[in-house]
């Protein structure tokens, strides 16, 4: 049970891949997303998994898709893997590939069946969850619906961002993967079927999802800000210019006459919400650098004293 084809793309996958390399598994090759175009100069940028694999002299294979791909199918089949292990790859694996090894495992960043899909960590933060974790599942042809072979949970820290939580879960994922593989080798594995009635779906995060609705509560807005880091970053509009918001603080038990959501109440950048207030601590106005709020209010002439959810 030592021959592995590893399939992944983002930094979330690196601790799991590193665990395999450091513990004597033979990583036959890795499959990752093709190099993406990055920056204004449109340079090609390899995935974090690609970079790591090359540093360990592991072969890298970058098909555009795996479904109906004979080259990919026979490459995996002829390599004779005991395990296929995926983590944050970005595409669904077809059933004919999943059936090649004895086990096809996926490292997923939630306590399944909650938050199936592409963006479980972001959705857990945005929704105000207080607990999350990782799941190791035996993959089937659907999205994150396979039997659970291992799970580990963790509390979400106060004011934790998606970026911070993702790093913690990636390490926990490697730990859970290690325990699951050990159980497989020792024939101690327990399968738990997912209850579809308790399932929720974490759709792909889009830029427009990060637009702040000031009629929502301060807690909901804080969760959105934290959940949208490092990308796409929560934003609003000020005088028809986009303003990104990186860090906020919830302020409660204040009163304001004629409270209007989005209104800037003072030069401490205290903003009225549907319930309670948000103080903006770090922000970036369109075409300007990222700054702390005091630097912003000292250098900006407020012609308009409200943020808007519309351009």
Q: Are strands 43-45 and 60-61 parallel, antiparallel or unpaired?
A: unpaired
Measured between its terminal Cα atoms, the distance across the chain in Å is 56
Compute the distance between CA of residue 51 and CA of residue 8 in angstroms, rounded to an integer.
Answer: 12
Q: Is the peptide bond before 115 cis (omega within 30 degrees of 0)?
A: no
Q: Is the peptide bond before 113 cis (omega within 30 degrees of 0)?
A: yes
- DSSP helix/strand/coil, 254: coil
Query: Could you identify the residue written with the tokens 């590893």?
Result: 6
Is 110 marked as binding a ligand?
A: yes
Compute the distance between CA of residue 31 and CA of residue 42 in angstroms, rounded to an integer.
Answer: 23
Is 112 marked as binding a ligand?
A: yes
Is 55 marked as binding a ligand?
A: no
Compute the distance between CA of residue 254 and CA of residue 25 in angstroms, rounded to an integer.
Answer: 58
Count of residues making up the chain: 311
* Nearest Cα residue to 222 out of 127, 133, 307: 127
**Distance from CA of residue 88 to its chain's centroid?**
9
Q: What are phi and psi of 104, to 5 degrees?
A: -120, 110
Question: How many CB atoms lie under 10 A from the CB of residue 295?
Answer: 13
Task: Output helix, strand, coil percentages for the chain, rounded to the nearest 5.
Answer: 30, 30, 40
- b/e map 194-230, b = 16+ CB within 10 Å: beeeeeeebeebeeebbbbebebbbebbbbbbbbbbe
Annotated binding site: 110-113
Annotated binding site for (6S)-5,6,7,8-tetrahydrofolate: 110-113
């Amino acid at each position: 049970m030592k021959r592995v084809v590893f399939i992944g793309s983002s930094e979330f996958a690196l601790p799991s891949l590193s665990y395999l390399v450091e513990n004597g598994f033979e990583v036959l090759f890795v499959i990752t997303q093709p190099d993406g175009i990055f920056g204004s100069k449109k340079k090609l940028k390899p995935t974090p998994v690609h970079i790591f694999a090359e540093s360990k002299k592991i072969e890298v294979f970058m098909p555009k898709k795996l479904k109906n791909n004979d080259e990919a199918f026979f490459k995996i089949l002829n390599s004779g893997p005991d395990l296929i292990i995926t983590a944050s790859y970005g595409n669904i694996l077809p059933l004919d590939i999943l059936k090649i090894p004895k086990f096809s495992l996926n490292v997923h960043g939630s306590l399944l069946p909650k938050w199936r899909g592409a963006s479980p960590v972001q959705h857990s933060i945005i929704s105000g969850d207080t607990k999350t974790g990782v799941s190791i599942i035996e993959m089937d042809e659907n999205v994150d619906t396979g039997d659970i072979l291992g799970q580990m949970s963790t509390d979400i820290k106060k004011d934790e961002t998606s970026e911070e939580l993702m790093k913690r879960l990636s390490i926990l994922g490697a730990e859970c993967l290690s325990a699951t593989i050990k159980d497989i080798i020792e024939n101690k594995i327990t399968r738990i079927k997912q209850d579809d009635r308790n399932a929720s779906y974490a759709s792909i995060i889009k830029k427009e999802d990060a637009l702040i609705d000031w009629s929502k509560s301060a807690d909901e807005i804080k969760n959105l800000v934290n959940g949208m880091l490092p990308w796409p970053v929560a934003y609003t509009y000020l005088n028809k210019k986009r303003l990104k918001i990186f860090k906020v603080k919830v302020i409660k038990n204040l009163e304001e006459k004629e409270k209007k959501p989005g209104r800037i109440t003072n030069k401490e950048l205290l903003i009225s919400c549907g319930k309670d207030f948000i103080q903006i601590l770090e922000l970036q106005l369109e075409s300007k650098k990222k700054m702390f709020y005091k630097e912003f209010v000292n250098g900006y002439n407020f012609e308009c004293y409200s943020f808007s959810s519309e351009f």
